[in-house]
Amino acid sequence: MKLNNLKYIAATFLVVIGLTSCDNDDVGVTVITPILDFSGTFVQEDQMGRPGINTVFSATPEIENDFNVTIPSEQGAAFQSLFETQLAGLHSAFGATYENNILNLDITTLTTLLASDVLQVAPDEPTTYFDGANVLTGRTLTDDVIDVSLILLFGGQTGDRFNGQDTNNDGTPDLPILVTDGVSAAGETPLSMFPYLEVPHGI
């Protein structure tokens, strides 16, 4: 379908018949053709592939702004080392250092993978951020991307490194809970067919 068709369709809906004013004896009919102007240059202000990358890894407002106007092919070189410093800093704030995660990725490899902020999508395999069997093959509306991200960042090799453990058995947790935010997709009930997203609240 070419744009001419689109313009025609729009015109059939938007044809306006304008009558001249009352004090004019002449009755005129004017057809106003809608102008659909798609011209011009559009300049990038925001960019996103995976959830939470910029918000988690960019340590300052300046880095956040820069990240959004950097194309993916240049993000790795520009931001990987900053992201590694940030992830190390988040650990040191808890008196810890990063441990290789459940995918056995070291901190440099993980931040290299995540610094290029694109979402891998598998057209012929199950699509999920992580479902226990498939990893980073897409993102469904109910994937718990926060917990997956927290596990990859803070979970260590077991995935539950910081999960509120009582390490000295005194009945009180000694480690913080950092591998789950305690919110699941239970409250989300997307549709099974297009457009999949739920009706808005309060309409």
Partner 1 sequence: MNRIKKAKLFIIGGLLSIGILLTAADHLDAPAVGGTTADITDFYAFEGANSDNTVLVANVQGLLAPGSTAEFDENILIEINIDNDGDLIEDLIIQAIPRNGIMYFFGPYAPTTTGLNSVINEDAQYLGQVKISKGTNAITSSFNGISYFAGLREDPFFFDSSQFNAIIGGMAPSGFNNPGNDDFDGTNVLSIVVEVPNALLGETFSHPAGTGVQVFNAWVEAKRKQ
Which residues from 66-125 bind partner 1, rule CB under 8 A? 67-69, 71-73, 75, 86, 89-90, 92-95, 103, 113, 116-125
CB of 19 to partner 1, least distance (A): 22
Residues 39-68 that bind partner 1 (CB under 8 A): 39-49, 51-56, 58-61, 64-65, 67-68
182 phi, psi to nearest 5 deg: 75, 15
One-letter amino acid at 129 equals Y
One-letter amino acid at 26 equals D
CB of 24 to partner 1, least distance (A): 29
Q: Which two tokens stand for residue 16?
A: 């306006």
Q: Binding of partner 1 at residue 15 (CB under 8 A)?
A: no
Residues 6+ positions from 30 with CB-CB distance below 8 Å: 16, 17, 18
Q: Binding of partner 1 at residue 158 (CB under 8 A)?
A: no
Q: Binding of partner 1 at residue 25 (CB under 8 A)?
A: no
Q: Binding of partner 1 at residue 157 (CB under 8 A)?
A: no
**Using omega within 30 degrees of 0 as the cis cutoff, is the peptide bond preceding 195 cis?**
yes
CB of 98 to partner 1, least distance (A): 14
Residues 6+ positions from 156 with CB-CB distance below 8 Å: 99, 100, 101, 102
Nearest to partner 1 of 81, 140 (CB atom): 140
